[in-house]
């Protein structure tokens, strides 16, 4: 209803401009001077109806132009939104690829710890109190802490919990490592499970 009122008001506005325009008045004056008499009301009515019809067209053209401009603006906004969305998706994909590369690096470091050999190995036995083994144990704990911290800061608490929860993790890739003591066996076994959890996290990341 409001649109109809606005349209009628636009028609009246155009019609009033046409009827009171200076050039129209000049044409009427010239015609009356040429004929030597005033124009009849019938002619005025015909002119008024002609101008009303033209005014209706002008009002319709205004609305059509506004609608076309609005559609073009919406199309432009949709295109800009699509461009931004594509850029964000591309950026997100690049970030995820960097994150996967870092997770793979952590997994590689875990493998290096699992396969580390000891210079003080005597007939396959290294005492837990041996300084070399104590450094190995400290390096393993540091790897766990560094990896968990990075995952929390970059992938969130849920991913960190997935990494740290090794209770139900089944090791798929067993490294051929002979433990030098029980502590070494426990560390290697846990590192294998942590490494498996890293692979599980990587598998859930959408790199598209």
pLDDT for 72? 79
Q: Does residue 105 belong to any structural domain of this protein? A: yes
Count of other CB atoms within 10 angstroms of residue 159: 21
pLDDT for 95? 85
Would the pLDDT of 65 be above 90?
no
CA dihedral 11, 15, 16, 18 (to 10 degrees): 140
The number of CA neighbours under 13 Å toward the Cβ of 133 is: 19
Q: Do 96 and 193 belong to one domain? A: yes
pLDDT for 28? 60
Q: Which residues pair with 161 in a beta bridge?
A: none
Distance, C-alpha 186 to centroid of its chain: 44
Looking at residues 21-43, what average pLDDT do you find? 58
Q: Do 47 and 94 belong to one domain? A: no
- The pTM of the full predicted model, rounded to 2 decimals, is 0.59
Query: What domain count does the chain have?
Result: 2
Weakest mean pLDDT among 77-81, 97-101, 123-127, 190-194: 77-81
Q: Do 7 and 51 belong to one domain? A: yes
Q: Do 51 and 104 belong to one domain? A: no
Query: Does residue 88 or residue 79 have the better pLDDT?
Result: 79
Would the pLDDT of 188 be above 90?
yes
Q: Do 36 and 118 belong to one domain? A: no
Count of other CB atoms within 10 angstroms of residue 54: 14
pLDDT for 135? 95
* DSSP letter (8 states) at residue 126: -
Q: Do 98 and 23 belong to one domain? A: no
Q: Do 159 and 127 belong to one domain? A: yes
Would you place residue 113 in the very low, low, confident or very high pLDDT band (cuts 50, 70, 90)?
Answer: very high
Query: Does residue 92 or residue 105 have the better pLDDT?
Result: 105
- Please, which residues have CB within 8 angstroms of residue 160's CB and are 6 or more apart in sequence? 148, 151, 152
Q: Do 42 and 142 belong to one domain? A: no
Q: Do 111 and 196 belong to one domain? A: yes
Q: Does residue 186 belong to any structural domain of this protein? A: yes
CA distances to 115, 137, 147, 181, 185 from 125, in Å: 15, 15, 29, 6, 12
Greatest CA separation for the chain: 134
Range of the domain at 66: 2-81
Q: Do 116 and 17 belong to one domain? A: no
Q: Does residue 208 belong to any structural domain of this protein? A: no
């Amino acid at each position: 209803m409001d649109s109809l009122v606005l349209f009628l008001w636009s028609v009246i506005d155009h019609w009033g401009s046409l009827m009171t325009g200076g050039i129209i008045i000049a044409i009427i004056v010239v015609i009356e001077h040429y004929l030597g008499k005033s124009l009849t009301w019938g002619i005025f009515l015909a002119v008024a109806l002609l101008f009303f019809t033209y005014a209706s067209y002008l009002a319709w053209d205004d609305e059509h132009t506004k609608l076309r401009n609005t559609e073009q603006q919406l199309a432009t906004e949709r295109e800009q939104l699509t461009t931004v969305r594509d850029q964000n998706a591309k950026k997100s994909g690049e970030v995820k690829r960097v994150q996967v590369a870092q997770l793979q690096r952590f997994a590689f470091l875990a493998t290096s710890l699992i396969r580390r050999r000891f210079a003080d190995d005597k007939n396959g036995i290294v005492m837990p109190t041996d300084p070399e083994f104590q450094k190995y144990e400290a390096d393993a704990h540091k790897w766990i802490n560094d990896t968990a911290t990075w995952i929390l800061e970059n992938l969130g608490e849920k991913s960190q919990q997935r990494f740290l929860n090794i209770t139900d993790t089944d090791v798929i890739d067993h490294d051929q490592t002979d433990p030098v003591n029980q502590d070494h066996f426990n560390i290697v076994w846990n590192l294998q499970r942590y490494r498996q959890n890293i692979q599980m996290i990587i598998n859930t990341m959408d790199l598209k």
